[in-house]
A = this chain, B = another copy of it.
Amino acid sequence: MNKIRKLAEELEAEVEKGRNPQIVMMAKGLNNVNFNEKERLLTLGDKKMARSFLNIAHARKFMQTLMIANLCRRLVEVEKHASIREVYYQLKHTIDKTKENTFEGQEESDPVIEDLERTLDVFREQMNLTADRRGYLYGNVKITDAGDTINCAKLGRGGYGIPSTVEELGFEEVKADFALVIETAAMYERLVEEQFAKKNNAVLIATQGQAARGVRRLIHRLHNEAKLPIIVFCDGDPYGYYIYSVIKMGSINLAYLSSELGTPDCKFIGMTMTDIEKYGLEKVTEKLKEMDIKRLKEEMEYPWFQNRHWQNELKKMLKGGVRIEQQALANKSLEFVAKKYLPEKISREEFLP
């Protein structure tokens, strides 16, 4: 709230001095994103950009930025949340005496929300903005939310549905040796049913594909506040490795949030190309598609994959031309993943960095 106020006051002061008010924010895009070796995260460089009112190319976005800032101030003031879709609808209107709409679509308002994050150095969740939720958590974690205490081991087989904003959540108790982050909901349900969490003193988290911001933030908080080691379990394909990469290092698009969302200490347990030979899974692999190969080649250049373990895996995939899903382990037996594959790899610490 103070940051929004300060921005507004500064702009007002400029106007009163008869100057052209401008909003300054960190520049975005590839040419301002670096891999920060020390923090082991994708972070923004120090390039800035300014958006000024008296500039035809900027005026519309200038107005939009302030409209969204104002809406966020009101949300925080009354302690309400709005989805980024609602933001668009709330602010859309035709400007008086013109035919100009404030916003033409959500594709116009979403980037401005990200701009505001880079202007104020806060994230949208702190400004009470939400997005579609995804992801589940199961295990010995007691979460407090809106006056309720939720025991995530006592919610039946379904577990806890992770909200899109996890800022307000508190950890009353976290009793586990590690958290296993799982790409597919079906594998998560398999492990819940096999009582993997109880038998291995683990917390299970399903991302359901690419991890949503709320899920990444929750993983980050569980690691940093509750000191849980994080082990990531994805499909053995370029998309699965990308999911891991984003959980670990952050993403180019949201590089300014990496220190809040990334968990550089996390480790990758599988699926790996080595698993295919070791566990005799050759018959349940699938051929790489062209898009997979393109992404794979990009990943071979990622700074954090510049170590012999990952290079070895990525080269094997390129050479073999195959991918493998985590659910392919069911070919051995339904229990195999819970009774052999995971416990064996965890006890031997067979992780990729």
Interface of A with B (CB < 8 Å)? 80-83, 85-86, 89-90, 92-94, 101, 130-133, 136, 143-146, 148, 150, 154-164, 169, 184-186, 189-190, 193, 208, 283-284, 325, 327-331, 333-334
Contact = CB atoms under 8 A, between A and B. Distances in A.
A247 B257 CA distance: 40
Contacts of A158: 133, 145, 160-163
A30 to B, nearest CB: 31
A284 B89 contact: yes
B334 A130 contact: no
Given A148-B155, A155-B155, A331-B92, A86 B160 contact: no
Contacts of A161: 136, 155, 158-161
A155 B151 CA distance: 9
19 contacts: A80-B193, A82-B190, A83-B186, A83-B190, A86-B190, A89-B329, A89-B331, A90-B333, A92-B284, A92-B331, A93-B283, A94-B283, A132-B185, A136-B161, A144-B156, A146-B156, A148-B155, A150-B154, A158-B161
B148 A164 contact: no
A317 to B, nearest CB: 19
Contacts of A156: 143-146, 148, 150, 163, 169
A39 to B, nearest CB: 31
A155 B160 contact: yes
Contacts of A101: 283
Contact of A86 (B145, B163, B164, B330): B330
A133 B188 CA distance: 11
Given A132-B185, A146-B157, A159-B161, 19 more contacts: A80-B193, A80-B334, A81-B189, A81-B193, A82-B330, A83-B189, A83-B327, A85-B184, A85-B330, A86-B327, A86-B334, A89-B327, A92-B283, A94-B283, A130-B186, A145-B158, A148-B154, A148-B156, A161-B161
A343 to B, nearest CB: 18
Contacts of A163: 156-158, 189
A158 to B, nearest CB: 4
A313 B122 CA distance: 45
A228 to B, nearest CB: 20
A131 B133 CA distance: 19
B189 A164 contact: yes
State the 5 A-B residue pairs at the shortest beta-carbon distance, nearest first: A145-B156, A161-B161, A83-B186, A86-B330, A89-B330
A72 to B, nearest CB: 12
A204 to B, nearest CB: 13
B150 A328 contact: no
Interface centre among A82, A159, A208, A333 (most CB of B within 10 A): A82
B164 A328 contact: no
Contacts of A327: 83, 85-86, 89
A133 B334 CA distance: 19
Nearest to A169: B156
A129 to B, nearest CB: 11
A205 to B, nearest CB: 13
